[in-house]
Structure 1
Amino acid sequence: MNRLLLSTVAVLGLLVASAAHGQDSDNMKKLQAFQSTGTSMDFKTIDQTGKTAEQLRKNLEEIKLPDGFRIDLFAVVPDARHMAVGPQGIAVFVGTRKQNVWVATDRDKDRVADEVKELAPSISFTIPNGVCFSKDGFLFIAEQNRVLVLPAAEFFYESPDVAVGEVVPQGKLIPASEESFNHTARVCRIGPDNKLYIALGQPFNVPPEDKLDLFAKEGIGGIIRMDRDGKNREVFVSGIRNSVGMQFNPANGDLWFTDNQVDGMGDDIPPGELNRATKAGENFGFPWYGGGDVRTEEYKSAEPPADAVMPQVKFTAHAADLGMDFYAGTMFPQKYRGGIFSAQHGSWNRTTPVGARVMFTPLKEDGTAGEPEVFAEGWLTGSGEYIGRPVDVETMKDGSLLVSDDLAGAVYRISYEK
């Protein structure tokens, strides 16, 4: 009886998934031909008032910041992950690890979102975590196994139908056989070379040896780059476990990225990483190194790459370093300009939890990292309870800093007043 029930549920699930895929495929064809899909104008929107917003504002009273800074609720955004601020400053696009991309709009420019609604309900997204803009206004969305581009997204998002193109078709970002529930939240950036860069986390804690050749070929456990139309794909750098945050240094074009390191080695090892890639082809040491120069048990007898690049910064072990951004604004004091803000999501498997904060790392004159420091903290209480888990940081046009939080379902705004 139970087997029959489970089999029936499984079949129904496949039928529903197949129908949804078919509808998405039909809609994609229509959108690419600039045809209407008939999708309702009744957008899914998120209430920005009421008890949820009030409680989120109350929670922010626990957040500690340097003197002169303040933090406010910018928007209630369910499952808020990586963010992309539109080049025109009209809207903020927020990815998730579920099926929605949200758009937060501050119409009256009081620095609080008036409206949060779903982007392009005519498209079925699958883990659309990675959102990034080109300078000329093209929004790229890196899903679990597809990459889309939405031209002029800041101006078309008011409609359920949007202009859309497939940079990488479904099932072609990684081999379908390697699709996993683990480490599939992609991040993307447009580089100074006008190419699209995407980080591809590998699914294992430490991958088995028989996967290494395939992963190296596909760029899984690395960062790939390609032309904006998907052509000329190549592996840019390798030896990365799971990077969920990267940004180019506007001063010299170097690509910096965070990396989440091996679990199960102990509370205090291996460290989290902030890395700098200065050229194509560099290897950052994983899986021979589990984080920093700590060797993994699985590969301790194997010879690591002689030219493995060590991290610029070793963060507290298991703090889960995710999104990062260079501060290019002018609102904050001089100390912060040109430095790196990064989000620590917080540990899940440490005896004493750590993280759930925003870090700041200054850069030295030679382009290397200085000593990191805590910038914003308090989402992890003294009793070890999470009231929030920061995911990403992005600089606004006015120089304020946005922080996303997928636990609380919110985006915060940090500003500075002299």
Structure 2
Amino acid sequence: MSLSGIFARVVAVIGGAALQWRRLQGNVHAPAWGSAPVVPEAKPQGAIPTLKMPTAQGWAVGQKPVVAPGLKVNAFASGLKHPRWINVLPNGDVLIAEATQVAGPVRNMFGYAMQATMRRAAALGVSANCITLLRDRDGDGVAETSQTFMEGLNQPFGMALLSDTFYVGNVDGVVAFPYVAGADSITAPGKKLTNFKSGGHWTRSILPSPDGSKLYIGVGSLSNIAEGGMEVEEGRAAVYELDIASGKSRIFGAGLRNPVGLAWEPTTNALWTVVNERDGLGDETPPDYLTSVRDGGFYGWPYCYWGKTVDDRVPQDPALVATAITPDYALGGHTASLGLCWLPAGTLPGFPDGMVIGQHGSWNRSTLSGYKVVFIPFVNGKPSGPPRDILSGFLAPDEKVSYGRPVGVTLTPDGALLVADDVGDVIWRVTAAA
């Protein structure tokens, strides 16, 4: 075992003792979910926050996630290299962005412990930096061919095709490439349209506007609560709007610590996102969330959370706090909700209109959360009702190992739900059972 692996196990033992101590202090609360969650009082964890992640194990031969009644799941493709995001082209070709977080500078012992733990959980490593093309020519729900579509990218994540231009969200900016319908690959040089700071939360999701004139891009913060100062956070923790014709971009919504998945709600035509909130305040404090994003809206980070609840660890800006918008729907503490797509009623049997969310899973809580794909029903353009599991079973019952971790979710033209699993290295396909 490597030195990093030994250190990670030592950290796990120390962390386990800390977890037991916190449980004895009564710091265990009901999950914070829904439109009016009970968010527990903050319990700052100090210099040694809760650190708990399962060891990445992967799936045994024939093993699958647990699927909701009335549905079935199969592996659409396997053997990938940390698949994170999915884009389905008009002809049915499926593109997979393969990338992962890379190690940054270590500033203290906790940073080293965090990196060692993340490596054990397969959440940190060498990024493949490519996009893979999958094809299911015979329509049996399994891709027969897998080939490199693009390579040499910089932590690619979001993708979008508009007319004859293919857009890629690299960590340092959105790049536009010429695209020919049905192409097996793109090798032509691209044109960089935006510049974003690297490091920290690295995913850059992309969503075209319904009329194709704009792109919306999620850009996460560098840090947890701007502990390095707000100057290094400038231009981050936001959803951007890029006007394609003019090439100009602007911040559309701000104060969003790490907005990843983006989707349109068709009744109101509102933009929605899922956001990963801050760490170090307790198991359920604050919850990650699903929210509509208002043009010019501010959602609290780093000064406050779930509306105007002030984070005392952060130097304050009372004027901004006064404008903070309360998110629409809580998704539980530290669930790492990343993937997002709209699911029209009837696409999967028994499911009404709503949003599908890929929850990557927690590290900063005593009992792990997330590690599943959930559905949030919508009525009249708003979340309405409790969540429902679509896929679960990504985590062992004793929480020691993970078989997979869901990330991106999207629909195919024939109504199948695809889920990227970046620990299992699988793309799962969910359809009706009969």
Give the alignment's TM-score, normalised by structure 1. Answer: 0.77
Cα drift, residue 394 of structure 1: 0.4
2:259 aligns with: 243
Bigger RCO (CA 8 Å, 6+ sep): 2
SS in 1 for 2:138: coil
- Show the counterpart of 1:69: 71
Q: Distance in 2 between matches of 1:112 and 1:235?
A: 40
Q: Does 2:243 correspond to 1:227?
A: yes
Q: Distance in 2 between matches of 1:90 and 1:301?
A: 48
Corresponding residue number in structure 2 for 1:406:
422
Quote the Cα distance in structure 1 between the aligned partners of 2:164 and 2:307: 37
* Distance across 2 between alignment mates of 1:100 and 1:75: 16
Match of 1:128 in 2: 156
Contact 1:355 1:380 in 2 (8 A): no
Aligned-pair distance for 1:229?
5.5
1:281–1:340: structure 2 CA closer, same or farther, 3 Å change rule? same
1:66 Cα deviation from its structure 2 partner: 2.3
Counterpart for residue 195 of structure 2: 173
Deviations 1:369-395 (A, max 9, x none): 443222221001111021100011101
Identity of aligned residues (%): 26
- Asked if the contact 1:273/1:292 (under 8 Å) is kept, the reply is no
| Superimposed CA distance per residue, residues 306-352 of structure 1 (whole angstroms, 9 cap, x where no aligned partner) | 2321111111101111010001374413633x310001101122222
- Give the 3 Å change call, closer, same or farther, for CA 416–317 of structure 1 in structure 2: same
Q: TM-score, normalised by structure 2?
A: 0.74
- What amino acid maps onto 1:188 in structure 2? I
Q: Is 1:373 paired with 2:388?
A: yes
- 2:189 pairs with 1:187: no
> Of Structure 1 and Structure 2, which has the larger fraction of its residues in helix?
1
Q: Does 1:147 align with 2:174?
A: yes
Residue 59 of structure 1 aligns to a residue whose secondary structure is coil
Give, in whole Å, the separation in 1 of the partners of 2:368 and 2:428. 22
CA distance in structure 1 between the partners assigned to 2:403 and 2:224 by the alignment: 27
**1:382 paired residue number:** 397
- Distance in 1 (CA, whole Å) between partners of 2:403 and 2:59 is 11
In the alignment, residue 86 of structure 1 is paired with which amino acid? L
Whether 1:204 and 2:231 are equivalent positions in the alignment is no
Q: Is the aligned partner of 1:311 residue 2:338?
A: no
Q: Does 1:85 align with 2:85?
A: no
User: In structure 2, do the counterparts of structure 1 residues 374 and 297 end up closer, same or farther at CA, with 3 Å as the change threshold?
Assistant: farther
- Please give the secondary structure, in 2, of the residue aligned with 1:82: strand
Residues 88-121 of structure 1: per-residue CA shift (max 9 Å, x gap): 2133333423211111111222110112222234
Q: Is the 8 A contact 1:343 1:393 kept in 2?
A: yes
Distance in 2 between residues matched to 1:330 and 1:366, nearest whole Å? 17
1:357 is aligned to 372
Aligned to 1:31: none
User: 1:262–1:291: 8 Å Cα contact kept in structure 2?
Assistant: no
Q: 1:189 to 1:301 in 2, by over 3 A?
A: closer
1:257 pairs with one of 251, 261, 273: 273
Partner of 1:297: 312
Distance 1:382 1:314 in 2: 24
Structure 2 counterparts to residues 22-41 of structure 1, below 5 A: none
Structure 2 match to 1:42: none
Contact in 2 for aligned 1:380/1:387 (Cα 8 Å): yes
1:329–1:397 Cα contact (<8 Å) kept: no
1:221 positional shift: 0.8
Residue 417 of structure 1: CA displacement?
3.1
C-alpha contact 2:308 2:321 (8 A) present in aligned 1: no
C-alpha displacement at 1:253, in angstroms? 1.7
C-alpha distance in 2 between matches for 1:366 and 1:127: 33
- Partner Cα distance (1:81, 1:368) in 2: 26
Q: Deviations over 1:178-209 (max 9, x none)?
A: 432x2011111101252011111111101148
2:84 and 2:421 in contact (8 A); partners too: yes
Q: Deviations over 1:147-200 (max 9, x none)?
A: 2223436522x24x53453142xxx512xxx432x2011111101252011111
Gap runs ≥5 in structure 1: 1-53
CA distance 1:128–1:155, change in 2 (3 Å):
same
AA aligned to 2:273 is: F
